[in-house]
């Protein structure tokens, strides 16, 4: 074995080890947060959230099979064609038929296996996520800004008060018009989203300034907030507790300050919280 080859092998082994150590470290940190365990974060979303995880797993298995085939071919090539005494290198053009066969196989594997199988298994999951906002959903407004999540509830009367762009400022991120009777009980919070358990929630997502991304891992919800647009997002939580809500778009220097939380509570607790907040306002 040549010196150079040995050095390269050592470096590769070292780097692979370092990479493995980094991945293991990240896992330990995640496990300590006691929120996601060793794999994906817990999933408290109904059907479509479960289907997303299924899609992820199918992709992972199929691409792992492909990766293993490629690594095996590479290992074969390296080991059986390594430099040996008395063995000379030779040139080969290869077999066109074999190469075409390989291309055909992988094309069918990727298109047929991944896209077709995924389509069959997951069906209209995208449609349900993006279009299927239930009529009876509880509406909550989320306004992203550098660097906070402003959240507005219609209050116990179920009606959002009027807003006016002119009234928007630091104190009043939504520009709520306090002269409107429906505005009196509107509740605004920052960075903490309260939602009732097992109730469809319709988020009207907006941004004041730049692109942000509304990301609640446990609910498998991730949607860009785009300035000038109101985007519909819907979700339903099947477990009470406090979970992470983050901005998944590098939106500026204070990006990490957009780490908030989602509090899922029983309908009764949610109603009590809402009434209390409305009274404070
Ligand atoms: Cu952001």
Domain boundaries along the sequence of the chain: 1-39, 42-132, 137-280
258: CA distance to ligand 1 center in Å? 6
217: CA distance to ligand 1 center in Å? 15
pLDDT band at residue 34 using 50, 70 and 90 as cut-offs: very low
pLDDT band at residue 178 using 50, 70 and 90 as cut-offs: confident
Token pair for residue 130?
A: 């993006």
Residues within 5 A (CB) of ion ligand 1: 212, 247, 251, 258
6: CA distance to ligand 1 center in Å? 47
208: CA distance to ligand 1 center in Å? 10
Q: 181 versus 271: which is more confidently predicted?
A: 271
How far, in Å, are 5, 73, 88, 96, 105 from residue 93 at the CA level?
26, 18, 16, 8, 20
Query: In the predicted model, is pLDDT for residue 244 greater than 80?
Result: yes
Query: In the predicted model, is pLDDT for residue 96 greater than 80?
Result: yes
Beta strand 192-196 pairing with 260-265: parallel
Q: Kindly report the CATH number that applies to the domain delimited by 137-280.
A: 2.60.40.420
User: Mind listing the pLDDT tens digit for each residue in 38-93?
Assistant: 678 888 888 788 888 888 888 888 888 888 988 998 999 888 888 888 888 778 88
10: CA distance to ligand 1 center in Å? 42
Q: 142 versus 120: which is more confidently predicted?
A: 142
What is the predicted pLDDT for the residue at 104? 92
Count of CB atoms situated within 10 Å of the CB of 258: 24
Query: In the predicted model, is pLDDT for residue 111 greater than 60?
Result: yes
Query: In the predicted model, is pLDDT for residue 20 greater than 70?
Result: yes
């Amino acid at each position: 074995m040549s010196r150079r080859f040995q050095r390269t092998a050592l470096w590769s082994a070292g780097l692979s080890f370092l990479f493995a150590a980094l991945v293991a470290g990240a896992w330990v940190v995640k496990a300590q947060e006691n929120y996601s365990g060793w794999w994906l974060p817990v999933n408290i979303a109904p059907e479509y959230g479960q289907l997303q995880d299924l899609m992820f797993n199918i992709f992972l298995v199929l691409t792992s099979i492909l990766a293993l085939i490629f690594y095996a071919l590479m290992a074969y090539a390296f080991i059986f064609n390594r430099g040996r005494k008395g063995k000379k290198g030779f040139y080969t053009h290869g077999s066109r038929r074999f190469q075409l066969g390989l291309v055909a196989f992988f094309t069918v594997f990727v298109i047929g296996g991944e896209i077709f199988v995924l389509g069959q298994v997951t069906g209209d999951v995208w449609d349900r996520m993006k279009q299927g906002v239930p009529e009876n959903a509880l509406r909550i407004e989320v306004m992203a800004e550098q660097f906070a999540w402003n959240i507005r509830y219609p209050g116990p009367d179920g009606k959002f008060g009027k807003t006016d762009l002119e009234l928007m400022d630091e104190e009043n991120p939504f520009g709520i018009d306090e002269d409107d009777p429906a505005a009196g009980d509107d509740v605004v919070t920052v960075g903490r989203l309260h939602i009732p358990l097992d109730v469809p929630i319709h988020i009207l997502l907006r941004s004041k300034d730049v692109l942000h991304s509304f990301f609640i891992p446990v609910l498998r919800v991730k949607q860009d907030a785009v300035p000038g647009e109101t985007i519909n997002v819907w979700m339903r939580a099947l477990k009470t507790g406090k979970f992470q809500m983050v901005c998944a778009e590098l939106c500026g220097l204070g990006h990490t300050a957009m780490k908030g939380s989602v509090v899922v509570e029983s309908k009764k607790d949610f109603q009590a919280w809402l009434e209390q907040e409305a009274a404070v306002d």
